[in-house]
Structure 1
């Protein structure tokens, strides 16, 4: 990702770095609540005790700001993954499914979901008004898929099938999480186990 610069393209000074860190930490705190109204640069600046001028000086505009938030989460990405323990496909699928389930409720992921839900969709539409943000989100998705494939290294797993499973698993687990939050009558744990079994069969060919 790009190195830290101000909206004018200059390296920020100590005061600028402090303002940038304050804006970023405030953004993550508000966005991790999942409230749609948190996707407001003006609100975040106000909560941080700073002005819109500070945002412009550090990030140029809202596109630069949201891109910086996503990039910050990308940088924290490796801490969300762990070294697999199992040496079987079934074991790895079970591990990564539990990992995904935990990550979905992490502050970083909730922040990303909040931003994605509030900004224009799909990604090509977002790119028209927020090109840098769209590029950062695309990079985040790419790295997640790459990390998923890497999780199965050392096993006889087709890479394309692993990418297929990465896409399905994330979407399915988000759906199950929503069902759980809305108090569905579906047995979420049983559905989770069935999903793991089905995806294991697909990976094993």
Structure 2
């Protein structure tokens, strides 16, 4: 019984290591920006296993991409947006903007953008063809709103305005990040400062 238990633990460790290798290979391939990277068979080839081995770990390609998204979320952890109770509203907004500025330039973020670009644009079709991946993306939206709500807790900020800000910050920051990658002539530090000031002013305003 003891020997059997040890063997099972070793098998489980090997299986987990194989799973981690597949996820890391998927992220590396996706981070390249190559649309062809969104292929379960390519990931299998990069790891040196069969497509059947990938299916054994994740069920299907939808399960693979959902697991990739969970893997990046676990590595990222919670965004420490304005977690200091004594921070001012402006400081909390700046923390969110600065963290997103850094995060959107990471390899994981580039991988996620490649995956997003390959998914169906129509939401109904996306949810029909990739239900687990779509659900994972949807959960990110809920988690992000919760993060922003916590960030401004105790300041008496209108929750509807927090929801509005949470909705547009990711797109706005992706635009600024895109400018960085394209070699913009604009002063992007100035752009981030302007965005921070605008958000803080909006959240502080009454009515």
Same fold (TM over 0.5): yes
Structure 1 runs (4+) deviating above 4 angstroms are none
Look up the match of 1:153.
153
Look up the match of 2:25.
26
Look up the match of 2:61.
62
Which one has the bigger helix percentage? 2
Question: Which structure 2 residue ranges, 5 or more long, are not aligned?
Answer: 1-10
State the distance in 2 between where 1:198 and 1:79 align.
24
Residue deviations 1:55-92, cap 9 Å, x none?
Answer: 11111211111111112122233255366345211111
TM-score, normalised to structure 1, is: 0.86
Name the count of aligned residue pairs: 194
Determine which structure has more spread, i.e. the larger CA radius of gyration. Answer: 2
TM-score, normalised to structure 2, is: 0.85
State the distance in 2 between where 1:183 and 1:14 align.
45
CA contact (8 A) 2:81 2:96 kept: no
Q: Considering only aligned residues, what root-mean-square deviation do their CA atoms show, in Å?
A: 1.9
State the distance in 2 between where 1:117 and 1:144 align.
20
Q: Give 1:170 deviation, angstroms.
A: 1.3
State the distance in 2 between where 1:70 and 1:116 align.
11
Look up the match of 2:34.
35
What secondary structure is seen at the aligned counterpart in 2 of 1:184? coil
CA contact (8 A) 2:22 2:44 kept: yes
CA contact (8 A) 2:81 2:147 kept: no
Question: Which structure 1 residue ranges, 5 or more long, are not aligned?
Answer: 1-11
Look up the match of 1:131.
131
